[in-house]
Each structure stands twice: as structure tokens, then as C-alpha cells.
Amino acid sequence: MHPRQKRLLFGVLDLASGVGVLAAVFRGLPARWLPVDITAALLSAALVGSGALLLLGHRLARRAARWSGALALGVGLVLFAGLALSASHLAGVYGPVGEAGALLFLLAAALVFPYLVALPAVKLLWLGRPR
């Protein structure tokens, strides 16, 4: 794949991920909690900004993409680990009743993994080391 095509692909994926994070947190979560809202807003702004710079071919696009990828990967790993640990705790402590709740946490973890762990990791590999 041509480098320009990769830049455009990651630009579109960053925009979609940023909008997806906003929708998931501000439309999907029933309750507001300031640390989650601030983290989601910052992550969304970083992803949307990175995506726009990549699509425009701006000279700071690679730096912004690297920064947003590292931020998304960090948030994604913490969130994925928290969801997996919560699921295992529910299933282990509450038995058959907790297994239903654990399924919901595992579903959320399965939705988080591709967009906040796998995609940022691939993007950081594509970008390579800073020059």
C-alpha cells in the first residue's frame, strides 16, 4: 500500500474512532463521571485532530498521530484490563448471577479492543520511531 493511501486510511480511522469514543461515552453511558468524561473528551479531540491533520497532509500530522496513538493505546489498555478484571471478579464472586454481568463486561471489552488497543498499536507500528 502506498504511504499516501496509508495516511488517508489512518486519517479516516482516527476520525471515526474519535467520533465513536464521543458517542460511546456521551450517548452510551447512562451516568456521568468527571474523570471518564474528561478522558473521553481529550482522547476524542486528539483522535479527531490527528485524523484531520493526516487527511490534510499537514507537516505535524505524524507527530499528532504518534501522540494520539500512544494516548489511545494507554487508555485502551487500562480500560480493557479494568473490564476484564471486573468480569472475572463478578463471575468468581457472584457465581451464576455474576456471569450475566460478566458477559456484559466482556462484550464491552470486545468492543474496546479493536478501536483502542489494536488500531493504535498498528498505527504506532506504521509510524515507526520518531526521527
Task: In whole angstroms, give the CA distance from residue 49 to residue 61.
Answer: 9
Reported pTM: 0.91
Q: Which pLDDT does position 104 carry in this prediction? A: 92
Q: Which pLDDT does position 1 carry in this prediction? A: 77
Q: Which pLDDT does position 124 carry in this prediction? A: 95
Contact 68, 13 (CB under 8 A): no
pLDDT band at 95 (very low <50, low <70, confident <90, very high): confident
- As a whole number, mean pLDDT of residues 102-117 equals 94
Which residue's C-alpha cell is 497532509?
A: 57
Mean pLDDT of all residues belonging to the chain: 94
> Quick one: 92 exposed, middle or buried, by C-beta within 10 A (0-12, 13-18, 19+)?
exposed
Does residue 3 have a pLDDT over 90?
no
Q: Which pLDDT does position 118 carry in this prediction? A: 96
- As a whole number, mean pLDDT of residues 93-105 equals 90
